[in-house]
């Protein structure tokens, strides 16, 4: 399996065996619909032509020779099928990579290794007369080969190359303004856990991190950004296109969005809030009104609350209904992935009102769905906190039992309590979450154990533990 550096500079010969040029580079096609698959399960870009350097010293220029004019290529050079070649100067087309120019010394993500690496060389393979880019070499040996120290490089053990199918370039935009779309590996990037992807993003500049997250959907990008430190969150969002950043903010936990916006200038934060949906912006704006070191600044409004008049069966049905509605409309499930507790409230003014957060951006049901929903309890009911219900109690209770009969009292905090005091109470009393209420007892939000750990743990450990309840 030859490397590119073993081919560069080798002679290009016409059918008579005369040297007409030197191999300067190889061109591969990376458009997803044109990817070839020489082995099952892997997608490798095919070589579509060579860049050859012609002319005497001082008057040299590069030309492109299509692959159909190549009879043979190897460590001994390139043999052409025709003596007639175009003398026009080479220009890279969109969807192509000129290998040494486009990849050498560039940063890429090794998806399998969960790391950012720098390309020192690339490996190729030949199959049925075609050549393919199959991997990148990030070893010191690859760098030594490029420097002309082949003998020294051979003394080093040959490090395994990184399969191209597991490589994601950090940026989609090449230095000459062209774009580089690699849909297959970016799909694999989306399979990484948010914490793993965040550790990769931390190794990049803010612009590189924004570029890397650019092809992920907003929810995946939001989950990744939430794993970063507050200052880094703001830097990544600032590097994004403003409309994209606003969409990502809408998908973030309200308290995480507040942390990210708090690290920006007031002008930047105001601009992004103006681009968000009104419901989400109002939710975040409300949290921004609390002091940064208070329980109000730490809490999230992403939780489930139900009216005290509902039965256990009605609450279960309401939870299922929300998930089914979202699935039918091909929207993200509005319910939290994990619910530490379900909060029972005395309804405000006898009505169930949609609350902010991710769920607030969902349209209200209409038509027949609205008629059913109007008779059912809301899972985002606003009102005075009456108690909490564990998921265990919700599952074990008889369906016709009132939810108020299985709820139990809970500790509460207030919006202006110091975040350190709230975090300490959660830790000392082994709470999964602490509800935050106003002076009249209205439920405002909750502080989860995840957020409490962010306050208690040293900065270097923040955001490193799994976010169980987010």
Q: What residues form DSSP beta bridges with 447?
A: 434
Cβ atoms of 51 and 63 closer than 8 Å: yes
What one-character-per-residue DSSP string does 423-444 give? HHHHHHTT-SEEEEE-TT-BEE
Neighbours of 118 (CB within 10 A): 13
pLDDT at 371 over 70: no
Lowest-pLDDT range of 73-87, 115-129, 181-195: 181-195
Average pLDDT over residues 265-280: 93
CA dihedral angle for residue 97, residue 102, residue 104, residue 106, rounded to 10 degrees:
-120
Look-up of token digits 């969150």: 233
Q: pTM (2 decimals)?
A: 0.69
pLDDT value, residue 166: 81
The structure tokens listed for 453 are 């750990």
Pairing of strands 96-98, 19-29: antiparallel
pLDDT value, residue 324: 87
CA dihedral angle for residue 251, residue 168, residue 52, residue 61, rounded to 10 degrees:
40
Classify residue 371 as exposed, middle or buried by CB count within 10 Å of its CB (0-12, 13-18, 19+): exposed
- The more confident residue out of 35 and 302 is 302
Q: DSSP 3-state assignment of 280?
A: helix
pLDDT at 379 over 60: yes
Average pLDDT over residues 256-271: 91
pLDDT value, residue 189: 75
Average pLDDT over residues 300-307: 92
Least Cα distance to 232 among 459, 470, 455, 467 occurs for: 459
Least Cα distance to 343 among 307, 311, 376, 367 occurs for: 307
Look-up of token digits 């299985």: 406
- The more confident residue out of 186 and 154 is 154
Q: What residues form DSSP beta bridges with 94?
A: none
Q: Output DSSP code: residue 341.
A: -
Least Cα distance to 182 among 32, 368, 1 occurs for: 32
Q: What residues form DSSP beta bridges with 133?
A: 124
Neighbours of 469 (CB within 10 A): 21
Q: Of 3-17, 102-116, 194-208, 456-470, which one has max mean pLDDT?
A: 3-17
Neighbours of 247 (CB within 10 A): 20
> 142-152: per-residue pLDDT in tens?
788 887 787 77
> 77-108: per-residue pLDDT in tens?
999 998 888 877 788 777 788 899 888 888 88
Task: Please report which confidence band the pLDDT of residue 115 belongs to, taking 50, 70 and 90 as the band edges.
Answer: confident
pLDDT at 399 over 80: yes
Cα 88 to Cα 74: distance, rounded to the nearest angstrom: 25
Q: Which residues contact 39 (CB under 8 A, 6 or more apart)?
A: none
Cα 314 to Cα 216: distance, rounded to the nearest angstrom: 37
> 201-252: per-residue pLDDT in tens?
988 889 989 988 887 889 899 999 998 988 899 999 999 999 999 999 999 9
Cα 130 to Cα 44: distance, rounded to the nearest angstrom: 11
> 328-350: per-residue pLDDT in tens?
777 777 787 777 899 999 986 64
> 43-85: per-residue pLDDT in tens?
788 999 999 999 877 778 899 999 999 999 999 999 999 888 8
Q: Output DSSP code: residue 160.
A: P
pLDDT at 361 over 70: no
pLDDT at 186 over 50: yes
Look-up of token digits 């809301």: 378
Cβ atoms of 287 and 297 closer than 8 Å: yes
pLDDT value, residue 53: 92
Classify residue 4 as exposed, middle or buried by CB count within 10 Å of its CB (0-12, 13-18, 19+): buried
pLDDT value, residue 412: 96
Pairing of strands 19-29, 11-13: antiparallel
């Amino acid at each position: 399996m030859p490397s590119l550096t073993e081919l560069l500079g080798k002679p290009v010969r016409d059918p008579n065996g005369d040297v007409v040029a030197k191999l300067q580079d190889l061109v591969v096609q990376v458009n997803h619909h044109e990817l070839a698959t020489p082995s099952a399960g892997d997608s490798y870009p095919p070589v579509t032509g060579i860049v050859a350097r012609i002319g005497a010293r001082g008057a040299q220029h590069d030309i492109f020779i299509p692959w159909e004019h190549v009879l043979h290529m190897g460590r001994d050079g390139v043999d052409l099928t025709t003596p007639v070649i175009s003398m026009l100067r080479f220009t890279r087309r969109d969807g192509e990579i000129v290998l040494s120019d486009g990849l050498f010394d560039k940063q890429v993500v090794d998806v399998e290794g969960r790391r950012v690496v720098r390309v020192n060389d690339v490996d190729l393979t030949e199959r049925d007369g075609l050549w393919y880019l199959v991997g990148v070499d990030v070893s010191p040996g690859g760098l030594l080969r490029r420097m002309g120290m082949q003998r020294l490089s051979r003394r080093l053990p040959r490090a395994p190359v990184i399969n191209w199918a597991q490589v994601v370039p950090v940026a989609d935009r090449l230095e000459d303004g062209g774009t580089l779309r690699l849909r297959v590996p970016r799909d694999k990037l989306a399979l990484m856990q948010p914490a793993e992807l965040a550790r990769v993003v931390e190794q990049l500049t803010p612009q590189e991190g924004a570029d890397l997250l650019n092809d992920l959907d907003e929810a995946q990008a939001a989950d990744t950004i939430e794993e970063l430190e507050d200052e880094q969150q703001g830097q990544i969002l600032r590097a994004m296109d403003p409309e994209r950043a606003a969409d990502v903010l809408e998908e973030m936990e309200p308290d995480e969005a507040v942390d990210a916006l708090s690290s920006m200038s007031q002008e930047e934060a105001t601009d992004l809030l103006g681009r968000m949906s009104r419901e989400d912006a109002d939710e975040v704006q409300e949290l921004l009104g609390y002091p940064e070191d208070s329980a109000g600044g730490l809490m999230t409004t992403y939780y489930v609350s139900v009216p005290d008049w509902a039965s256990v069966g009605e609450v279960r049905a309401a939870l299922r209904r929300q998930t089914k509605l979202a699935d039918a409309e091909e929207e993200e499930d509005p319910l939290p992935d994990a619910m530490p507790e379900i909060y029972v409230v005395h309804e405000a003014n006898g009505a169930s009102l949609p609350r902010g957060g991710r769920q607030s951006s969902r349209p209200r049901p209409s038509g027949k769905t609205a008629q059913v929903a109007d008779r059912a309890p809301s899972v985002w009911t606003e009102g005075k906190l009456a108690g909490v219900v564990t998921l265990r109690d919700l599952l074990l209770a008889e369906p016709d039992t009132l939810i108020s009969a299985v709820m139990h009292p809970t500790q509460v905090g207030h919006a202006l309590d110091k975040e350190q005091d709230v975090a300490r109470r959660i830790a000392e009393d082994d709470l999964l979450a602490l509800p935050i209420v106003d002076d009249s007892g209205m439920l405002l939000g909750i502080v989860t154990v995840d957020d409490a750990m962010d306050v208690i743990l040293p900065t270097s450990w923040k955001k490193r533990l799994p976010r169980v309840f987010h």
